Amino acid sequence: MIKKADTHQPKTQKSTGRAYVLRLFIAGSSPNSLRAVTNIKRICDIHLPGEFSLEIVDVYQQGDLAKKEQLIALPLLIKKMPLPERRLIGDLSETAKVLSALGL
């Protein structure tokens, strides 16, 4: 079960000075949502160790935040920083596409 706003920050703090701020919007514990959570955590832990913060937002529990971001589909990953902001829809299973959207 995913909490209201689960924030994941890795334990290692090896930073190159480029902090990634990510927000993943999900729809409860649907299979696609759970896959997206697993996939983005794995990608970040491997490719951005110590350089990211990840907020997981369940739209069923935080509908106001979902409205503010004008969501069109779920799951949805928003890269807030570094700019430019990027949005990626889906379960994030295509690692190459996720890395490209993150600018890696």
Q: Which one is predicted more confidently, 94 or 1?
A: 94
pLDDT per position as a tens digit, 75-94: 999 999 999 999 999 999 99
97 pLDDT band, cuts 50/70/90, is very high
Per-residue pLDDT, 13: 40
CA distance 42 to 47: 8
Q: Which residues contact 33 (CB under 8 A, 6 or more apart)?
A: 2, 26, 27, 58, 74, 75
In terms of residue numbers, what domain contains 33? 5-11+18-102
17 pLDDT band, cuts 50/70/90, is low
Domain count, the chain: 1
- Whether 27 shows a pLDDT value over 60: the answer reads yes
Predicted TM-score of the model (pTM): 0.82
What's the N-to-C CA distance of the chain in angstroms? Answer: 30
CATH number at residue 34: 3.40.30.10
